Structure formats: structure tokens, C-alpha cells
Amino acid sequence: MENTIRDFIYYISVEKGLAANTLEAYNRDLHAFCTYLKKANINDFKEVTRNNIIGYLQTLKKSGKATSTLSRNMASIRSFYSYLFQERLIVENPTVDLESPKLEKKLPRVLTTQEVDLLLEQPDVQQVAGIRDKAMLEVIYATGIRVSELMSLDVLDVNLEAGFIRCTGKGAKERIIPMGSVAVHYVSEYLNRSRPKLIRSHDEEAMFVNQHGKRLTRQGFWKILKKYVRKAGIVKGITPHTLRHSFATHLLENGADLRSVQEMLGHADISTTQIYTQVTRSKLRDIYKKTHPRA
């Protein structure tokens, strides 16, 4: 069964161009499912029934796994069995008409514009690393790109003259996103004053590099962000994705249309973007309750 999983992971990596993190999640989910099947004395995916899959999900639920984890596992198993059926490795697909666990839609946590300003003021732009950090924070808030996309940026992906960046998102889809004047200014400062002192080789293509002159990682960015959140005294639980959420929410609050925000965020389905309209509506309700005399 492990060989079949390996073939499937190779197939989706080539055919769908999924990100490494997504491939790892598929691989992890399917191997966990495989372990469960072996304990039930099932040693061939052809023997798996609908009830086996339901039983596995129930086991995950009893162990305290979140609904989002159950839903992701179901998606992994469904995709895997679609592949097996397509390749004629099974006669019937046991995942047909099998519903995914209903996810609770939680509103994303966002920063106020004042909190964003406070956070973005923290890097010391008199320092080499501070200029880099300032440029990164400005870019991620100005464009709403994912941290993985920020870390994947090459110098040639940024056009300061035209004021845009080119990034490759999920499914290897490329998009062009405008970048505001403030972000353009600090990226220019970084390229002129900071990056030349950080890189060890002129052949380095990465836009944002660490102290060793190599491409900065997601973990590296996360440490940097946490440092500035503490320094700013912001007590909200903030992740790198919070700036992306804040970007989308602030655009919609100021009149941007949903389709444009969807395109900039790189969402395949507009329903994913619509969650931000709920955030703005929730904020309006709070304002109404606090300010209307008959609220």
C-alpha cells in the first residue's frame, strides 16, 4: 500500500503542481490511514469500504482531532481514491457520496489599521536587518501574499518602476499584484542599502535573505514577526497570515470589490474570499451597537 501512496504523491506533484506543504499533508494523511487499515487487517486498498473510511474518521474525532483535520483527511482520502479509480486500480470508489465533516467557519483574526501602523513602525531602518524586515512587512501587508509566496520571491519578480510583484501561488498559478508607494520605497531601500550587505554571492536570486545570505525561510519570518509583535505590545494572537487577512479586510472596508480582492489573494473560489465580508459586517454591527442611541 505504501508503494501505491508513493505513486499517487508523485502523480499529483507532476499533474497538479501542488506545493510541497500540500504534498506532505497528503502523504502524512494517507500513511496514517494506511496504518489504521493494517490494524484492522486490511492490506489492500481494494478491500476498503465506505464504513472503513467512516470508522477511521470517527477514530480521529474520538482522539480529539479538530474538524478541520478530519475534513483535510477526508479530502486526502477522496483525492486518493479518485486517482485509484481513474487508474483502474479499483472497481468502485468508496468515497462517492461520502460527505466531509462540516467545518465551522471561524472569522479570521485581523488587525486594526492603527495596529498595523504600530507593527510596521517597529523595525529599526537604521540597521541592515531592520531595513529588510521593514520591507518584508510592508510588502506582505501591501499585497496580501502568503508567507510562502513572500519567501519564494526572487529579485526579478519585483518591478519597482511599475509598482507590482509577480508571485506563484497554489497550483503553480502566477499572478501580478500591485504594490503601494510605501512598500515600493522600502523595497528600494532594502535592495540598495541592505541586501548587498547580506548576500554572499551575486548569483543569489532570492529577494529576501537571512544573515547567512541565503533565502529566508517561513520559520525565519515567523520569528521576526513575533519579535515585532512583542515589541509593539500587541496582545492579539497574530500569525503571518494575520497580515494577509488584514490586507483583504481593509481593502473591502474601503470600498474594494470582492472580485478584485479574490484575484489579488489568488483564491480559486470567490466563496473563500467572502469570509472577509463577514468580518466587515461584524465590525459594522459592533460600531452600530456602540454608537446608535437605540441599539
- Any alpha helices (H) in the chain, and if so which ranges? 2-15, 20-39, 50-62, 67-86, 113-120, 128-143, 147-152, 181-189, 195-198, 218-232, 240-253, 258-265, 270-273, 275-291
Residue 56 annotated among the catalytic residues of the structure: no
Angle at 135 between CA 161 and CA 273, to 5 degrees: 85
- What is the per-residue pLDDT for 92? 87
- What is the per-residue pLDDT for 155? 95
What does the alpha-carbon distance between residue 207 and residue 198 come to, in Å, rounded to a whole number? Answer: 11
Which of 49-63, 187-201, 208-222, 237-251 shows the lowest mean pLDDT across its residues?
A: 237-251
Residue 202 annotated among the catalytic residues of the structure: no
pLDDT band at 281 (very low <50, low <70, confident <90, very high): low
Phi and psi for 168 in degrees, rounded to 5? -110, 120
Residue 170 annotated among the catalytic residues of the structure: yes
Q: Yes or no: say if 147 and 260 are a contact pair by the CB < 8 Å rule.
A: no
Alpha-carbon Rg for the chain in angstroms: 23
Residue 91 confidence (pLDDT) above 60: yes
pLDDT band at 269 (very low <50, low <70, confident <90, very high): low
Q: What is the pTM of this model?
A: 0.61
Q: Yes or no: say if 206 and 198 are a contact pair by the CB < 8 Å rule.
A: no
What does the alpha-carbon distance between residue 14 and residue 3 come to, in Å, rounded to a whole number? Answer: 17
Q: Which of 241, 259, 281, 285 is catalytic?
A: 241
Distances (CA, A) of 162 to 142, 218, 231, 243: 15, 27, 34, 23
What does the alpha-carbon distance between residue 52 and residue 295 come to, in Å, rounded to a whole number? Answer: 52
Residue 241 annotated among the catalytic residues of the structure: yes
Q: Which of 61, 166, 215, 267 is catalytic?
A: 267
- What is the per-residue pLDDT for 161? 92
pLDDT tens-digit readout, 122-175: 999 999 999 999 999 999 988 888 898 999 999 999 999 999 989 887 767 788
pLDDT band at 258 (very low <50, low <70, confident <90, very high): confident
Q: Which of 72, 134, 146, 250 is catalytic?
A: 146
Residue 267 annotated among the catalytic residues of the structure: yes
What does the alpha-carbon distance between residue 191 and residue 197 come to, in Å, rounded to a whole number? Answer: 10
Angle at 281 between CA 278 and CA 285, to 5 degrees: 135
Domains in the chain (CATH in brackets) are 2-86 (1.10.150.130), 113-290 (1.10.443.10)
To the nearest whole number, what is the mean pLDDT of the chain?
85
- What is the per-residue pLDDT for 97? 79
Residue 102 annotated among the catalytic residues of the structure: no
What is the residue whose three cell numbers read 462517492?
A: 96
* H-run or E-run covering 15: helix 2-15
Q: Which of 16, 170, 214, 283 is catalytic?
A: 170
Q: What percent of the chain has pLDDT over 70?
A: 87
- What is the per-residue pLDDT for 98? 77
